[in-house]
Amino acid sequence: VYAEFHKWLGRGEMLQPMWDLWKAGDRKGALTAIPNEVVDQLFVHGSAEKCRATIKKYFDNGVTTSSLAIVAFDPEVNFWQCVETLSPSAS
């Protein structure tokens, strides 16, 4: 279902190598085959400044409510500091 959704969105050609590797059982290869362009389309990531700028673009284009799922892959990152840094009052 997820693959069909991304095909419908026009990402089929970009994600086909990942799907092929996944079906072949190469999970690590599949993850490395995800194009950066797709990651950039699906996730807000980077420095706090870059994240705020990306989120601002959504609001500038009509989004009125957001819900962020903050995922830190670095155990040293403080979750609540991220929340505070990305809050509208921080900009």
6 three-state secondary structure: helix
Contact 54, 63 (CB under 8 A): no
Query: Per-residue pLDDT averaged across 69-79, rounded?
Result: 88
- Alpha-carbon gap, residue 28 to 53, rounded angstroms: 31
pLDDT digits (tens, 9 = 90+) for 4-35: 999 999 999 999 999 999 999 999 999 999 99
For residue 41, give Cα distances in angstroms to 52, 56, 76, 78, 81. 15, 15, 26, 25, 25
CB 86 within 8 A of CB 48: yes
Q: Residue 86 — pLDDT band, cuts 50, 70, 90?
A: confident
Q: Tens digit of pLDDT for each residue in 43-73?
A: 999 988 999 999 999 999 999 998 889 988 8
The yes-or-no verdict on residue 88 having pLDDT over 90 is no
How do the domains of the chain map onto residue ranges? Answer: 1-42, 45-91
User: pTM, whole model, 2 decimals?
Assistant: 0.73
